[in-house]
């Protein structure tokens, strides 16, 4: 097994608690599914949100998915003037036999614009 980092992002339409939780749950679920991961494969997940998202901690969505024993942390992205607004990002550190080239990074909704080269 190797430790790999998996990136992902999604965009929400508004700073609404339910929308943040729903979009984050969708993102976490997609990362797990596309990379054929179970919760025991997760080492940790770092979530970030753009400064315009303050209604809820994205990590709560992961907890609600049953990832209660995975270390989770939330942070705020730097406020770059031309950055895409209302974006939630994650970086998951995982144990996986997949080579780095086979890791599936996940960009959903409007966040596809961030990485058109690898978005699926």
40 part of the active site: no
Catalytic, 34? Answer no
Angular region, 58: left φ>0, alpha ψ -120 to 50, beta rest: alpha
Which entry of 17, 33, 36, 63 is annotated as an active-site residue? 63
Q: Is 89 marked active-site?
A: yes
Catalytic entry in 19, 22, 34, 77: 77
The yes-or-no answer on residue 33 being catalytic is: no
**Which residues in 1-120 belong to E strands, given as ranges?**
2-11, 42-49, 72-76, 87-96, 106-107
Q: Given the residues 19, 22, 74, 109, select the one marked as catalytic.
A: 74
Which one is catalytic: 4, 56, 86, 89?
Answer: 89
Task: Indicate the DSSP class of residue 108.
Answer: -
Active site residue 17: no
To the query of whether residue 7 is one of the catalytic residues in this protein, the response is yes
Q: Specify which residues 2 forms β-bridges with.
A: 96
Catalytic residues: 7, 63, 74, 77, 89, 107, 115
């Amino acid at each position: 097994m190797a430790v790999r980092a998996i990136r992902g992002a999604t965009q929400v339409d508004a700073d609404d608690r339910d929308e943040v939780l729903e979009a984050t749950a969708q993102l976490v679920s997609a990362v797990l599914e596309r990379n054929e991961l179970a919760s025991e494969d997760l080492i940790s997940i770092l979530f970030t949100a753009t400064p315009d998202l303050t209604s809820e901690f994205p990590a709560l969505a992961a907890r609600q998915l049953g990832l209660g024993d995975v270390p989770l942390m939330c942070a705020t992205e730097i406020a770059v003037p031309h950055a895409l607004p209302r974006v939630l990002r994650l970086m998951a550190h995982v144990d996986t036999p997949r080579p780095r080239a086979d890791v599936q990074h996940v960009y959903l909704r409007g966040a596809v614009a961030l990485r058109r080269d690898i978005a699926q």
